[in-house]
Amino acid sequence: MTSRYRGIIKIANSWGNIVGELTDRLKSKNYAADITLLDPSSKEWIDGNITTASFWGKEYVIHMNGKYLIMKSKPDLTTEFYEKSRGERLAQFKKRPWSRLWAARFDIDIFSLKFPETLYMLALVVNG
């Protein structure tokens, strides 16, 4: 992650090129953000958004490229990603328990390559 300034987060690859960006949108009650990702296969930018789907902020809806994903947090510090139409688990990340006391550390498993991994990194920022 390269910067966080006024609700803007940018992710760069190892060469320093920006591959994703998240921009917070001000909303009164629920979280909302716009996201832009570089698709590694087509080299085109994809726009989308992330919004809260539940009052307590434990579930988010990600709209990207005409598809809807659900990001849902569980009490065991695991967050899972599902494609809404299929219920297929795409990825998950788990916060290491001892990281509550120090810098947060996560284990990330990606089960499908349907979406760029940058999407999961930006979602980690939202939910982490």
What is the average pLDDT across 74-98? 87
Share above pLDDT 70 across residues of the chain, in percent, rounded to a whole number: 88
Residue 111 has which token pair? 């089960």
**Nearest CA-CA partner of 30 in 65, 3, 55, 59:** 55
DSSP 77-110: SEEEEEETTT--EEEEEEE-GGGGTSS--EEEEE
Domain boundaries, the chain: 3-127
What is the average pLDDT across 60-78? 90
- Indicate whether 4 pLDDT > 50: no
Question: What is the average pLDDT score of the chain?
Answer: 84
Which band of pLDDT confidence, cut at 50, 70 and 90, is reported for residue 82? very high
What is the average pLDDT across 42-49? 93
